[in-house]
Chains A and B, each alone.
Chain A
Amino acid sequence: MPARLDLKALAPVAVLVLLCLVIWAFSPNFVSINNLIRILNQAAIPMVLVMGATFVILMGSIDLSVEGILSLCAVVTAALVMNPVSADLASLSAPVAAMVDANIGFLAIPVAILAGGLLGFVNGVVHVRLKVPSFMATLGIGFACLGIATAALGGFPVRISDRAFRQITLGRELFNVPNGVWLALAAVFVAYVVQEWTRVGRWIYAVGTDEVTARQSGVPVERTRIIVFTLAGLFSGLAGVMAAAQLGQGHALLGQGRLFTTITAVVVGGTALTGGVGSVLNSVVGVLIVVVLTNGMVLMGVETYVQQGVQGLLIIIAVALALDRSQLDVVK
């Protein structure tokens, strides 16, 4: 058993199981193969996003740039693969037009992911070097990304006409499970290895628990922070590629609603907002809770706005249950 999985960490699993049983009782369709695959498919992109977000939150920071980076990377992806060149091309600025005109096929994947990494790196540098609180730095960068994504395309989406490219999430080569799900599992594997077996993984916990001690022990705190924000950017970039392939287009609003789901999933999974406590595995469970809940509400015919309300309550309940209030004097 991994060292960081203790009994308290199993509480979210119990919640997930309970939730599944309740939904099953109300709608037997819940356990059908098709529905389970649908759940996994819906969980794929959030799963990739929470990997980065978990590291950031474990460090006691927050990354609010998830939607912006995802959208911008989706736009980059869509622009770089085969797309129907529309008449609007002339109205775009020259470099953007050149990107849209280009078709580098699958090479667009690493390019978009690296673009995400670069944006994450900027997050980290702004946060660490300019000493801007992470929520403000990432909020600003995220908004800037949305702005760039909108302005570059004049507010229009770019469609992807390369069918083969779209197979990277839609294809079902293995056990009839969409490739996007396998990608998400690969992301979880990478994140888990980083967390458990690398120095950065160790330092994330050290910095999140007690930065002063970590520094005195020689942990390069600033470098750790920048690396973690870069990692988060890479994961957001991958999520952007996946979103572009899944929906067959790239545009500025592609990431809408992802930020809330991501942070809810991390927190519901049991990673503390105060830093130091939690794991990427917790967040896997957190994502499943959020997705299963949404799926269940759809099956039970709950209205969309009510669903949103329930999600909002969920995150507050999760934080309220997880906090040890006796230890807190000041809440900001």
Chain B
Amino acid sequence: MTAVLELRNATKSFPGVKALDSVSMHIEPNEIVGLIGENGAGKSTLLKVLTGIYQLDEGQVLVNGREQKLRSPRDAFDHGVAMVFQEQSVISTLSVAENIFLGREGEFLVAGLINKAAMNRAARTELAKVRLDIDPATRCAHLSFAQRQMVEIAKALSLDTRIDGDIVILLDEPTSVLEKREVELLFDIVRELKARAAIVFISHRLDEVIDVADRIYVMRDGAVVQEVPASTADVHDLHEHMVGRQLHHEYYRENRQRSELGEVALSVKNLSSKGHFSDISFELQEGEILGIAGVVGSGREDLARCLAGLAPPDSGEVKAAGKVANLTSPRRAVDAGFGFIPSERKVEGLVAPLSVTENMTLPAPHEFTRRGLIRFAHETEVAKRWIDRLRIRTPSPRTPTQSLSGGNQQKVVLSKWRIAGSRIAILDHPTRGVDVGAKEDVYEMVRDMAEDGIAVVLLGDTLEEVIGLSNRILVFKDGRISATFDAAVGSKPDQVDLIANMV
């Protein structure tokens, strides 16, 4: 039997990183293939190759046994490879039918005009395949999240009568935002769809993957490290392959982890934000690093944004250094001593065209002005001090930040908050998109902060990172703290323990 979709020695590099390293995999007709891996393991790059967004440097993509160069998502679609995106991609102002056939209205044209009745009829046929009983003329803005996802799947399925050969549907984390009942419905439909299509199911909920898939690929560091039939797969075993290497104590500077901590710097009581998290309480001491673990949608990102003043809480109390902190705006959060290092560094952490100095002094303008005018010499002097201290590689303090490497940019963000006098640092994925060498610099900086008595809340990019750096770890699940682990050097919790409380 010919594989519907096959990758042979697929390799794709980006500056400084090999995102796919000679990956080979095949998807057979009427098969559900699970694909798992940590963030940065290469899953997204793989999907982008399969949907024509990226082109391979080396290796081949074969569709129905023939080599194809997929040039765009549309090209991939026309070859029978359809992706259901994690961040949904239906167009809310168009109707269900219009979305299903967007860009392919040609078959309904009569004398240049669209035959709406015929299009709606055809849409009904596709909707029936996903058991969605709605009027195809309904605008997508009126649909629930789960319904929209079904519309996307219906769009993918509309291919099966329109192309030769089998179709492949790539489902990228389809369950991450669904309710339990909706997940079960989705699984029922996915199993039904097996009769019509091959399916690639990407998720980091290992139990789900084992439940729904026939065969599982595990990816790590851009390569496939394991391939097992789901019937013999086991959560612990998969997870070990997913994470791979053992903890490196040195890598995370565990020798610098403080055991003596200072005063209570942050105290959070019954903090709730409707639909995001509820009843969160914890304390954080000066010099302590508190890791927060949880899957996407567990509420930990929302908590970080709340503490940064970006999304005010509905109820509960936050005290910083003993005083009640008003978190209704980023400015107020900064005044209360919070510094936020966001995951979207380029969007939220830096004003990229401004110089290193200007970025560093952005939150604390008063200190650098006299009678409303900027004190350039003083500003530059402070910036130079931090450039030396954090070993920021920049040609000069007045170089635009956008010309620095990712790691150095991150150092600028960190020094910005040090200059502003933040006592509580919220680190939201501080090493995302940073290359390996610079990661260690970031870890070094986190330890420096703790040494200077700054309290750190850390949302790590990987569990390994959270465990390695933290003094204590909170595990989030469905918007609540499901477990708390002490992570003193020598008695760090195991990743499996954390995962057990995450899913």
Contacts and interface: CB of A to CB of B under 8 A. Distances in A.
Contact of B112 (A4, A198, A208): A198
A216 B55 CA distance: 15
B116 interface: yes
Given A3-B137, A199-B109, A210-B89, A217 B103 contact: yes
Nearest to A219: B103
B241 interface: no
A206 B114 contact: no
A3 B105 CA distance: 17
Interface string B122-148: 000000000000000101000000000
A206 B95 contact: no
Contact of B91 (A193, A198, A209, A218): A209
A202 interface: yes
Contact of B103 (A4, A210, A218, A276): A218
Contacts of B351: none
B89 A218 contact: no
A213 interface: yes
B98 interface: yes
Interface in A194-235: 197-199, 202-203, 205-206, 208-210, 212-219
A205 B105 contact: no
A144 interface: no
A122 interface: no
Contacts of B104: 218
Contact of A205 (B77, B91, B109, B137): B91
Contacts of B93: 205, 208-209, 276-277
Contact of A197 (B90, B102, B103, B113): B113
A199 B139 contact: no
A217 B52 CA distance: 12
A201 B25 CA distance: 41
B377 to A, nearest CB: 33
B73 interface: yes
B113 A202 contact: no
Contacts of B78: 218
Nearest to A6: B139
A3 to B, nearest CB: 6
Of the four ranges (under 10, 10 to 19, 20 to 34, 35 or more), the interface on chain A belongs to 20 to 34
Given A193-B113, A197-B113, A199-B109, A219 B102 contact: yes
A277 B483 CA distance: 46
B75 to A, nearest CB: 9
Contacts of B109: 199
Contact of B105 (A202, A209, A216, A276): A202
A198 B114 CA distance: 6
Contacts of A203: 103
Contacts of A202: 94, 98, 102, 105, 114
Nearest to A212: B89
Given A202-B102, A218-B104, A3 B113 contact: no
B8 interface: no
Nearest to B155: A217
Interface string B95-117: 10010001111100100111010
Contacts of B113: 193, 197-198
Given A218-B103, A219-B102, A205 B94 contact: yes
B109 to A, nearest CB: 7
Contacts of A208: 93
A276 B91 CA distance: 9
A5 to B, nearest CB: 11
B105 A214 contact: no
B366 to A, nearest CB: 24
B91 A210 contact: yes
A231 B215 CA distance: 53
Contact of A209 (B77, B92, B95, B114): B92
Given A193-B113, A202-B102, A210-B91, 17 more contacts: A3-B95, A198-B112, A199-B114, A202-B114, A203-B103, A206-B91, A209-B91, A209-B93, A209-B94, A213-B90, A214-B91, A214-B103, A217-B73, A217-B102, A218-B73, A218-B103, A277-B93
10 contacts: A3-B95, A197-B113, A197-B114, A197-B116, A202-B98, A202-B102, A206-B94, A209-B92, A209-B94, A218-B104
Interface of B: 72-74, 77-78, 89-95, 98, 102-106, 109, 112-114, 116, 137, 139
